[in-house]
Amino acid sequence: MTVVAFDFDGTLSDSEMTVLLGDRCGVADDMAEITEASMNDEIDYAESLRKRAALLEGLPADDAQAAFDEVELREGAADLIAELNEAGVTTAILTGGFERGVATALEREGVSVDHIVSNHLPMNDAETELTGDVTGSLIEGTKDTALENLASDVGAGLDDCVAIGDGANDLPMLKVAGLAIGFEPKPAVEPHCDVVVTSMAEARDELVADGVLEER
């Protein structure tokens, strides 16, 4: 059994969910600055995520959904996921981003993955606006633990896992996976990648070279 675990923002998608949400309440620049510092491993990821969520306090539910509707998969991502699924590979998205944005993007392209591990932005009791809080297993928890748990659940070893990511919060899963693929990785991340790619086509080539997929 092979597991391929993707990061989402910056990897499967070139969108950044917190920035799209921040656009809706005029804090996109602040969001981008915090995100960049986190992805370069300059500030703790959990702290950065809480700071970004706090900036969204009071954002109306309709505006939040409109931001999630803007999240898109990058070129070739849907085809690669579909091919992995058809090949019987266990596919997963491990993201510090938000399940609603991931689900919206996947549904638009008509593809799915076997497992999504993500975070959530709670609404107030009336379900009318964001509270400014964030919940989920990938705030304090790290992606190595998430990948280890997933591999155990499906009966795979970590050597049979492929991790694909770009930012500092991907480092834990990149370090434990049998194959670590950096997708346009940040400078702090690149030294820990076995290979570096800049497109989904190149990622597919590496999966073929590793025997996960067959040559067309």
Q: Can you list the pairs that 51-55 forms with residues at least 24 positions away whose Cβ atoms lie under 8 Å? A: 52/18, 52/22, 52/134, 53/18, 53/121, 53/130, 53/132, 53/133, 53/134, 54/132, 55/22, 55/25, 55/27, 55/30, 55/31, 55/132
Q: Is residue 53 left, alpha or beta, with left meaning phi > 0 and alpha meaning psi from -120 to 50? A: alpha
Catalytic residue among 7, 144, 166, 170: 7
Catalytic residue among 9, 144, 160, 166: 9
Is 166 considered catalytic here?
Answer: no
Is 44 considered catalytic here?
Answer: no
DSSP lists the bridge partners of residue 6 as 93, 164
Q: Mind telling me the catalytic residues?
A: 7, 9
